[in-house]
Amino acid sequence: MTPRRPALPWLAPGEPLPPVVQAWGPEDPAPGLLAAGGSLDVDSLRAAYGHGVYPWFSEGQPILWWSPDPRMVLRTGAFRLHRSLRKTLQRFVATPGCEVRFDSAFGDVVRACASSPREGQAGTWIVPEMVRAYEDLHAAGTAHSVETWVDGRLMGGLYCVGLGRAVFGESMFARATDASKIALAALVAWCRVHGVVQVDCQQNTRHLASLGAAEMPRADFVSRLRQDAQAPDPPWLFDPVYWSALFTPVSRTAWPT
């Protein structure tokens, strides 16, 4: 007999999320789904991310909370700086008018990501309710944008959530070739400078895997998260000298496990 799938918890606004071990498993129709309902206020989002949970839902759906097992994670020391990307970055760094900024156009980045579907998806999950929620989270100092600028124009970027030294990547967009990869590379360089060991990528995609991301058991991810989230927040500013951290080979022994 097939085991009966546990009912999906429905949360009232402000109600705590259930433990991540209660998320649906691989035999269920939506592996990683943990709960529905609740709210997207700043406190709820901070609590969710602090426990390894994130919201993801489409227009017309209730708020859905996820904690997949395994988890897709980019170890910052394992970032693959392919030859073509290395050349692109070297040209970018050397070209006047090309720069990376943090948090100068957060709302523009989120809205640009909303118009760029995720790999393998026809629509967007960044519905207006999510845009407002992450703008509130940004105003509270917990959500950040990494932006690729060329001659005063925003050409690509990403946004993420930061809790101490725990960084959670959310979405990227590009209006020019490799503009989103430049933003991701800048984030990795910043992470290396500030001792951030990994960036949560949530779900497995070929693009992320090509850049060095790999799956990690949820239990290991949550254990690491508990340590990193307790650290002081690093300054979310990008200095061009940080690029050197990306071009310098990383010794595996230099990074905590």
Instruction: Tokens 């992450």: give the residue.
Output: 134
pLDDT in the model for residue 188: 98
Domain boundaries, the chain: 14-68, 72-247
Q: CATH topology for 72-247?
A: Aminopeptidase (3.40.630)
pLDDT digits (tens, 9 = 90+) for 113-146: 998 765 544 446 799 999 999 999 999 999 999 9
CA distance 1 to 14: 37
Alpha-carbon distance 138 to 141, whole Å?
Answer: 5
Which pLDDT score is estimated for 116? 76
Topology (CATH level 3) of domain 14-68: Alpha-Beta Plaits (3.30.70)
Mean pLDDT for all residues in the chain = 92
The pLDDT of residue 8 is above 70: yes
**Mean pLDDT calculated for residue range 25-29:** 93
pLDDT at 255 exceeding the cut of 50? no
- Whether 173 has a pLDDT exceeding 80, the answer reads yes
pLDDT at 122: 43
pLDDT tens, residue by residue, 70-125? 999 999 999 999 999 999 999 999 999 999 999 999 999 999 999 876 554 444 67
pLDDT at 247: 86
Among 102, 47, 75, CA closest to 234: 102
Q: Is residue 5 predicted with pLDDT exceeding 80?
A: no
Distance CA 163, CA 48 (A): 11
> Could you give the 3-state DSSP secondary structure of residue 245?
helix
